[in-house]
């Protein structure tokens, strides 16, 4: 009896003395050995880790039926019940690779993305503000990337043979109609919005998503920042003005609000840096913005951004059609922009994104022809110089409502669909030299519906298939625009992408009154890209072809005014672009090179034949260099932009032939510009400092190279005159101070 | 009569099993802690130890230490990994292990220390762009660790260590590092681990930084 018990106890207590070896090999479904997988028997300590050949082997004292598990990040998990009965066990384990954000290919054809988090991006938000030639303007930085033109005589982005109006800008999904300050004749206008407002930037030079429309060439998609890191005040003083602001983060870090105000007066700067124009009203701006951001309970975010600005400027410049007359031009502008945005998780993989925006813009422009004594000149003889006296008041309202939902499916697959509604009203009131008034109002309502799906056929092959349908009340017809992009992962961190899409845009508003019922302008994009990113070095090459159809053509009406004639204009743009960025080869030095070749011709507006438009250069290249020198607490940034000469034309209406002819043409000298900026952070690393100043200096056209943007012709005499920068060089010096809380943490980041 | 014999025997048996289990846990932990000491030579050997700890954690279900050490080993793999594109995934793995430890032992100063290391690991992928988010996360976790257990030397050691390798212009270097390291060393002297399995690491590294700074 006792003996039986003793044996039983001994058997139980020392049950495990018989060890069994479990071994095998783990591979993926293609037979590639998997290293680092954890092999275990559930609820026991027993197990091991696979070696570089996928082999594993361990001993166990467990017996009977046991659950063997094999896990490796990025692969399907493996489970199998095994019976351990004294004999060694050998297993072949084969698991499928999962499609995850980490290993899956990313669709990149046509676009540059600046993001901190996402992979496959070649830029970060910081790059946008530390590019020397950017001068604190979001779009300025983009002009050092392939696909953009170095157009300095007017604001906006000229992308791949497209005009500035073919590029649209979105903030949190909502279209921004007056992203740039109102344009002045012959003077480039900057973007209104502070680059620090945005945490993510996608610049698409073509083939963009079905979520956006109404841009024949390019979409710039900006995403505003979330909650600020901390509460702080700010103060800035520079050669162009002063400003102050506050960002308040709630104690629970779930909400925040902010206000800023800036006053700019370019008088002092223009007194030091002589301007080509003679300013009788120096540019003066008041700008204020406000925001609030609230994190929702389900992890969504409600954001509101409000912007208000007023500005005035007036200057005299020599009249092109005479030797001693001048044009005195002045502009008063009031601009407002409101953007309300909600992103919310609805549960079960559904996400909702809604937005409302409303903006207004009033431009009051006046031009007066003056003699040397600055008195108004009105004479019809000869040739209607009197028409150079005019005033225009443009009042615009834009509203947008947008909603879409996204459903995440298995793997990384997703579907998105939604709708947009735009309302726009533009009132133009024109007053002639003799007080004769003419005005017109254009009102449009544009409705759009879109759907898009992300399809991952494998981790190496992804497709984005989408479509967009739009109906403009003005055009009064539907358009349907298919969009497709594909990406395929190659060996050694390379990938190939393709994009195709059809894009529609409403007629430009200045041409609309004369041509009701004309259809949409249309462009089709075909893009092929190769990209390789490895260890802080990125390379990409892109070939594109773009076909334009239904562009607007113009004619002269009986009053000699330019009016829309038809929409049978055509054009094409094709080219190849390269981008190379290297943060590695030289320690602490970061540089990128971009090059664009562009072959484009179009027949539109008053072009008598298909010609290369005057805003396109054949070769464009940029070199951007950034270096932060720690001992000096200073970041140095330089940029060299180059473009071959652009064509220019004098296109005139020949009454005898009853058609437009090219009366004169030529090519400008090549464009060279070296810009330089430095950021000095004197309190860098002083953790006890309550005040954190950043001193910024930037110089444009350091070498003082002669730059001719283009040529303009007198409408009366045909006199030719170059369009030159407003000054040979501009120097900006400013000090940005944050206070209230320690800002050392952002030191490296905010070196503007 | 039989019953009287069976009962104490069963008692004895269950005590034996319990003791044997506790013994098995202690033995396995000690064995792997020893292995951990020598595993820093390669990511491969650290991974083996990390997986060993994770298996012990999964089997034990109630012990935070195995997950803690698994996360510690994983985050060190992250620091050693040369291919920056792989680091985020490793740090995420460490986080998932640490979350399991945290669920078993909340407001634990040692766990907050690893939390800080994981944030630093994410930061190292792209310090210029990530300093703002992860630098802050990392230092906040260490402040938390200090308040959770003021006697714990490791938050001070980690602060001192990170300052040692921060350029002087950013407020680092021996000048600011040494006081923290000395603070840590004083705490290492008096720190009593809760058990012989509890974390004790960092002292030798602190001593070598102190020696280096005093040169």
Residue in A17, A40, A41, A45 to test binding to B, most B beta-carbons within 10 Å: A45
How much is the pLDDT for A18?
Answer: 74
Q: Which two tokens stand for residue A192?
A: 């209104």
Q: Examine residue B10 and state whether it is found in any structural domain, yes or no.
A: no
Dihedral of CA A226/B100/B39/B209: which sign?
positive
Residue A750 confidence class, pLDDT cut points 50, 70, 90: very low
Same-domain pairing of B134 and B190? no
Q: Examine residue B17 and state whether it is found in any structural domain, yes or no.
A: no
Chain A / chain B CB contacts < 8 angstroms? 99
Is B129 in contact with A126 (Cβ distance < 8 A)?
yes
- As a whole number of angstroms, the distance between CA A294 and CA B84 comes to 34
Q: Is residue B54 less than 8 Å (CB to CB) from chain A?
A: yes
pLDDT in tens, B18-41: 666 778 899 999 999 999 999 988
The kind and range of the H/E element at B34 are: helix B2-39
Closest Cα partner for A114 from A221, A249, A273? Answer: A221
| C-alpha to C-alpha distances, A750 to A130, A289, A694, nearest whole angstrom | 9, 20, 8
Is B131 in contact with A125 (Cβ distance < 8 A)?
no
Contact A572, A554 (CB under 8 A): no
Contact A418, A405 (CB under 8 A): yes
Kindly state the average pLDDT of the residues A741-746: 45
| C-alpha to C-alpha distances, A46 to A352, B22, B33, B51, B57, nearest whole angstrom | 46, 16, 16, 11, 12
Same-domain pairing of B77 and B183? no
- For chain A, positions 685-704, list CB contacts with chain B under 8 A: 685-687
pLDDT over 50 (residue A453): yes
- As a whole number of angstroms, the distance between CA B60 and CA A45 comes to 9
- As a whole number of angstroms, the distance between CA A267 and CA A290 comes to 27
Kindly state the average pLDDT of the residues A7-35: 75
What is the four-CA torsion angle of B204, B208, B214, B215, rounded to 10 degrees?
150
Q: Examine residue B2 and state whether it is found in any structural domain, yes or no.
A: no
The number of residues making up chain A comes to: 752
- What residues in B contact A102, CB-CB < 8 Å? 88-89
Q: Examine residue B128 and state whether it is found in any structural domain, yes or no.
A: yes
CATH of A111-746, one of 1.25.40.10, 3.40.630.30, 2.40.170.20, 3.40.50.720: 2.40.170.20
Of B24, B48, B128, the CB nearest to A49: B48
Q: CA of A119: which chain B residue's CA is closest?
A: B85
Of B128, B168, B171, the CB nearest to A126: B128
User: What is residue A148's DSSP assignment?
Assistant: B
Of B28, B47, B132, the CB nearest to A745: B132
- As a whole number of angstroms, the distance between CA B71 and CA B83 comes to 19
Q: Is residue B129 less than 8 Å (CB to CB) from chain A?
A: yes
pLDDT in tens, A227-265: 987 888 999 999 999 999 999 999 888 999 999 999 999
Mean pLDDT, chain B, rounded, equals: 88
User: Quick check: helix, strand or coil at residue B131?
Assistant: helix
Q: Which two tokens stand for residue A465?
A: 């298939």
User: What is residue A173's DSSP assignment?
Assistant: T
pLDDT in tens, A484-497: 999 999 988 899 99
Same-domain pairing of B121 and B156? no
Kindly state the average pLDDT of the residues A426-454: 92
Residue indicated by tokens 């009962």: B7
Closest Cα partner for A729 from A182, A129, A353, A272? Answer: A272
Is B13 in contact with A9 (Cβ distance < 8 A)?
yes
Q: Which two tokens stand for residue A402?
A: 């947008």
Residue A513 confidence class, pLDDT cut points 50, 70, 90: low
- For chain B, positions 87-126, list CB contacts with chain A under 8 A: 88-89, 93, 126
- As a whole number of angstroms, the distance between CA A715 and CA A732 comes to 36
User: Quick check: helix, strand or coil at residue B93?
Assistant: helix
Q: Is residue A742 less than 8 Å (CB to CB) from chain B?
A: no
Closest Cα partner for A121 from A717, A531, A615, A681? Answer: A531
Mean pLDDT, chain A, rounded, equals: 88
Same-domain pairing of B37 and B85? yes
The number of residues making up chain B comes to: 215
Q: Using omega within 30 degrees of 0 as the cis cutoff, is the peptide bond preceding A347 cis? A: no
Same-domain pairing of B85 and B133? yes
Dihedral of CA B17/B23/B28/B29: which sign?
positive
Same-domain pairing of B199 and B165? yes
Q: CA of B7: which chain A residue's CA is closest?
A: A5
**Which of A273-282, A381-390, A488-497, B206-215 has the lowest average pLDDT?**
A381-390
- What residues in A contact B59, CB-CB < 8 Å? 43-45
- As a whole number of angstroms, the distance between CA A279 and CA A299 comes to 52
Class of domain A2-95: mainly beta
Contact A4, B5 (CB under 8 A): no
Residues near A654 by Cβ (< 8 Å), separated by ≥ 6? Answer: A660, A661
- As a whole number of angstroms, the distance between CA B169 and CA B102 comes to 36
Q: Which two tokens stand for residue B176?
A: 């600011």
How much is the pLDDT for B16?
Answer: 59
- What residues in A contact B169, CB-CB < 8 Å? 630-631, 633, 684-685
Calculate helix-pair angle for B43-60, B84-104, nearest 10 degrees.
Answer: 30
Q: Which residue has the higher pLDDT, A379 or A160?
A: A160
Same-domain pairing of B94 and B112? yes
| C-alpha to C-alpha distances, B107 to A472, B65, B104, B145, B149, nearest whole angstrom | 59, 14, 10, 8, 9
Strands A20-28 and A89-95: parallel
Of A36, A45, A744, the CB nearest to B56: A45
Kindly state the average pLDDT of the residues A4-28: 68
- As a whole number of angstroms, the distance between CA B213 and CA B215 comes to 6
Q: Is residue B55 less than 8 Å (CB to CB) from chain A?
A: yes
Is B170 in contact with A744 (Cβ distance < 8 A)?
yes
How much is the pLDDT for B7?
Answer: 63
Residue A724 φ/ψ region, left for φ over 0, alpha for ψ in the -120 to 50 degree band, beta for the rest = beta
Other CB atoms within a 10 A radius of the CB of residue A689 amount to 16
Same-domain pairing of B182 and B126? no
Q: CA of B29: which chain A residue's CA is closest?
A: A45
Of B58, B126, B167, the CB nearest to A630: B167
pLDDT in tens, A86-127: 889 999 999 998 888 878 888 888 888 877 666 667 777 778
- What residues in B contact A38, CB-CB < 8 Å? 51, 54-55
Q: Which domain holds residue B196?
A: 151-215
SS in 3 state form for A278-308? Answer: EEEEEEEEEEEEEEEEEECCCCCEEEEEEEE
pLDDT over 50 (residue A16): no
pLDDT in tens, A560-610: 677 777 888 999 999 999 999 998 888 888 999 999 999 999 999 899 999
Same-domain pairing of B208 and B105? no
How much is the pLDDT for A166?
Answer: 94
- As a whole number of angstroms, the distance between CA A681 and CA A737 comes to 10
Min Cα separation A496/chain B (Å):
19
Name the maximum alpha-carbon separation found in chain B: 83
- As a whole number of angstroms, the distance between CA A59 and CA A55 comes to 14
- What residues in B contact A535, CB-CB < 8 Å? 83-84
Q: Is residue A349 less than 8 Å (CB to CB) from chain B?
A: no
Q: Is residue B136 less than 8 Å (CB to CB) from chain A?
A: yes
Calculate helix-pair angle for B65-80, B43-60, nearest 10 degrees.
Answer: 160
Is B9 in contact with A5 (Cβ distance < 8 A)?
yes
pLDDT over 50 (residue A744): no
Q: Is residue A748 less than 8 Å (CB to CB) from chain B?
A: yes
- As a whole number of angstroms, the distance between CA A188 and CA A268 comes to 20
Q: Examine residue B5 and state whether it is found in any structural domain, yes or no.
A: no
As a whole number of Å, the end-to-end CA separation of chain B is 77
Beta bridge partners of A595: A578, A621
- As a whole number of angstroms, the distance between CA A62 and CA A18 comes to 9
Q: Looking at B99, B123, B144, which one is the last position of a domain? A: B144
Q: Looking at B144, B169, B190, which one is the last position of a domain? A: B144
User: For residue B82, how far is the Cα from the chain centroid?
Assistant: 21
User: Quick check: helix, strand or coil at residue A550?
Assistant: strand
User: How many domains, in total, are found in chain B?
Assistant: 2
Strands A278-295 and A255-265: antiparallel
Residue B173 φ/ψ region, left for φ over 0, alpha for ψ in the -120 to 50 degree band, beta for the rest = left
- Buried/exposed A184-217: b ≥16 CB within 10 Å, e otherwise: bbbbbeebbbbbbbbbbbbbbbbbbbbbbbbbbb
Residues near A31 by Cβ (< 8 Å), separated by ≥ 6? Answer: A94
DSSP A116-171: SS-TT-SB-HHHHHH-GGGTT-HHHHHTTSTTB----SS-S--BTT--GGGEEEEE
- As a whole number of angstroms, the distance between CA B206 and CA B215 comes to 14
Same-domain pairing of B136 and B39? yes
- As a whole number of angstroms, the distance between CA B70 and CA B55 comes to 9
What are the structural domain ranges in chain A?
2-95, 111-746
What is the four-CA torsion angle of A160, A166, A172, A173, rounded to 10 degrees?
-110
The reply to whether domains A2-95 and A111-746 share a CATH topology is no
Q: Looking at B118, B144, B170, which one is the last position of a domain? A: B144
Residue indicated by tokens 């923290």: B180
Is A13 in contact with B128 (Cβ distance < 8 A)?
no
Contact B93, B76 (CB under 8 A): no
Contact A325, A291 (CB under 8 A): no
Q: Examine residue B166 and state whether it is found in any structural domain, yes or no.
A: yes
User: Quick check: helix, strand or coil at residue A187?
Assistant: strand
Contact A213, A468 (CB under 8 A): yes
- As a whole number of angstroms, the distance between CA A275 and CA A729 comes to 10
- What residues in B contact A46, CB-CB < 8 Å? 55
pLDDT in tens, B107-127: 999 999 999 999 999 998 887
Percent of chain A past pLDDT 70, that is, above it, reads 93
| C-alpha to C-alpha distances, A45 to A22, A378, B34, B73, nearest whole angstrom | 14, 98, 16, 17
Q: What are the strands, taking DSSP E only, across A506-536?
A: 521-534
pLDDT in tens, A298-316: 999 999 999 999 999 999 9
pTM above 0.90, yes or no: no
- What residues in B contact A633, CB-CB < 8 Å? 169
Residue A439 φ/ψ region, left for φ over 0, alpha for ψ in the -120 to 50 degree band, beta for the rest = beta
Q: Examine residue B89 and state whether it is found in any structural domain, yes or no.
A: yes
Q: Which two tokens stand for residue A506?
A: 């409403």
Q: Which two tokens stand for residue B191?
A: 């720190």
Q: Is residue B213 less than 8 Å (CB to CB) from chain A?
A: no
Q: Examine residue B157 and state whether it is found in any structural domain, yes or no.
A: yes
Residue A138 confidence class, pLDDT cut points 50, 70, 90: confident
Of A45, A631, A687, the CB nearest to B55: A45
Same-domain pairing of B35 and B140? yes
Same-domain pairing of B46 and B129? yes
Contact A155, A615 (CB under 8 A): no
- As a whole number of angstroms, the distance between CA A35 and CA A72 comes to 9
Other CB atoms within a 10 A radius of the CB of residue A493 amount to 15
Burial of A155 (0-12, 13-18, 19+ CB in 10 A): buried
């Amino acid at each position: 009896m006792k003996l039986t018990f003793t044996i039983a106890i001994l058997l139980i207590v020392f049950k495990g003395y018989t060890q069994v070896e479990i071994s095998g090999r783990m591979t993926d479904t293609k037979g590639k050995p998997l290293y680092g997988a954890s092999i275990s028997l559930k609820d026991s300590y027993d197990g091991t880790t696979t070696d570089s050949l996928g082999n594993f082997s361990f001993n166990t004292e467990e017996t009977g039926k046991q659950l063997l598990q094999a896990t490796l990040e990025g692969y399907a998990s493996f489970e199998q019940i095994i019976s351990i009965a004294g004999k060694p066990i050998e297993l072949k384990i084969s698991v499928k690779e999962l499609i995850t954000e980490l290993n899956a290919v990313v669709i990149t054809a046509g676009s540059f993305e600046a993001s901190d988090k996402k992979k496959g991006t070649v830029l970060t938000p910081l790059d946008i503000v530390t590019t020397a030639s950017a001068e604190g303007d979001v779009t300025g930085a983009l002009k050092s990337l392939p696909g953009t033109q170095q157009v300095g005589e007017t604001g906006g982005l000229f992308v791949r043979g497209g005009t500035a109006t073919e590029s649209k800008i979105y903030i949190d999904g909502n279209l921004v109609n007056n992203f740039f300050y109102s344009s002045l004749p012959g003077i480039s206008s900057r973007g209104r919005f502070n680059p620090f407002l945005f945490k993510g930037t996608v610049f698409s030079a073509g083939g963009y998503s079905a979520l956006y429309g109404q841009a024949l060439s390019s979409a710039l998609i900006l995403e505003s920042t979330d909650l600020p890191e901390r509460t702080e005040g700010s103060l800035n003083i520079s050669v162009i003005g002063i400003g102050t602001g506050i960002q308040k983060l709630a104690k629970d870090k779930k909400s925040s609000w902010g206000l800023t105000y800036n006053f700019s007066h370019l008088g002092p700067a223009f007194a030091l840096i002589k301007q080509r124009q003679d300013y009788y009203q120096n540019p003066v701006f008041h700008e204020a913005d406000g925001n609030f951001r609230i994190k929702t309970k389900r992890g969504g975010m409600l954001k509101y951004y409000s912007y208000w600005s007023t500005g005035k400027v007036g200057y005299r410049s020599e009249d092109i059609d005479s030797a001693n007359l001048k044009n005195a031009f002045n502009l008063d502008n009031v601009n407002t922009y409101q953007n309300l945005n909600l992103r919310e998780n609805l549960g079960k993989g559904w996400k909702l994104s809604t937005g409302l925006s409303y903006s207004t813009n009033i431009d009051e422009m006046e031009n007066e022809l003056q003699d040397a004594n600055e008195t108004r000149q009105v004479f019809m003889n000869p040739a209607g110089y009197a028409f150079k006296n005019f005033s225009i008041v443009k009042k615009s309202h834009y509203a947008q409502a947008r909603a879409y939902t996204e459903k995440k499916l298995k793997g990384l697959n997703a579907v998105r669909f939604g709708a947009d509604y735009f309302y726009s009203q533009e009132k133009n009131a024109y007053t002639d030299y003799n007080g004769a008034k003419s005005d017109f109002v254009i009102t449009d309502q544009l409705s759009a519906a879109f759907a898009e799906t992300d399809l991952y056929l494998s981790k190496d092959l992804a497709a984005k298939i989408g479509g967009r349908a739009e109906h403009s009340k003005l055009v009064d017809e539907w358009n349907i625009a298919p969009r497709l992009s594909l990406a395929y992962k190659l060996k050694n961190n390379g990938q190939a992408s393709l994009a195709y899409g059809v894009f529609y845009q409403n007629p430009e508003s200045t041409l609309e009154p004369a041509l009701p019922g004309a259809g949409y302008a249309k462009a089709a994009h075909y893009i092929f890209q190769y990209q390789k990113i490895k260890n802080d070095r990125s390379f990409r090459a892109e070939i594109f072809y773009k076909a334009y159809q239904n562009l607007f053509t113009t004619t002269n009406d009986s009053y000699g005014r330019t009016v829309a004639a038809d929409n049978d204009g055509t054009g094409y743009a094709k080219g190849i672009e390269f981008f190379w960025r290297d943060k590695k080869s030289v320690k602490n030095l970061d540089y990128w090179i971009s090059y664009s070749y562009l072959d484009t011709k179009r027949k539109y507006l008053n072009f008598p034949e298909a010609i290369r438009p005057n805003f396109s250069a054949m070769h464009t290249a940029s070199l951007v260099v950034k270096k932060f020198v720690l001992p000096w607490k200073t970041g140095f940034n330089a940029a060299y932009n180059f473009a071959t000469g652009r064509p220019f034309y004098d296109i005139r209406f020949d009454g005898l032939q009853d058609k437009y002819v090219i009366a004169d043409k030529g090519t400008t000298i090549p464009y060279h510009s070296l810009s330089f900026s430095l950021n000095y952070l004197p309190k860098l690393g002083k953790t006890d400092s309550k005040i954190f100043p950043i001193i910024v200096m930037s110089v444009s056209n350091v070498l003082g190279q002669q730059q001719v943007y283009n040529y303009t012709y007198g409408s009366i005499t045909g006199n030719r005159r170059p369009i030159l920068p407003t000054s040979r060089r501009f120097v900006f010096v400013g000090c940005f101070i944050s206070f209230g809380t320690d800002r050392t943490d952002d030191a490296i980041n905010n070196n503007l | 009569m039989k019953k009287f014999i069976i009962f104490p025997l069963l008692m004895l048996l269950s005590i034996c099993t319990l003791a044997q289990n506790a013994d098995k846990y202690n033995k396995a932990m000690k064995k792997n802690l020893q292995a951990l000491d020598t595993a820093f030579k390669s990511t491969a050997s650290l991974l083996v130890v990390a997986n060993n700890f994770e298996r012990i954690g999964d089997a034990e279900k109630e012990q935070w230490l195995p997950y803690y050490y698994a996360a510690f080993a994983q985050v060190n793999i992250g620091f050693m990994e040369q291919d920056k594109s792989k680091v985020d995934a490793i740090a995420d793995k460490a986080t998932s292990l640490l979350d399991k430890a945290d669920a078993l032992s909340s407001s634990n100063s040692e766990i907050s220390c690893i939390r800080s290391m994981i944030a630093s690991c994410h930061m190292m992928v792209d310090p210029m762009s990530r300093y703002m988010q992860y630098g802050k996360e990392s230092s906040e976790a260490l402040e938390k660790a200090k308040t959770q257990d003021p006697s714990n030397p490791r938050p001070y050691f980690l602060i001192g260590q990170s300052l040692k390798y921060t350029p002087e212009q950013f407020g680092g270097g021996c000048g600011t590092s040494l006081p923290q390291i000395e603070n840590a060393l004083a705490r290492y002297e008096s720190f009593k681990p809760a058990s012989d399995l509890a974390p004790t690491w960092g002292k030798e590294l602190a001593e070598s930084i102190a020696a280096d700074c005093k040169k």
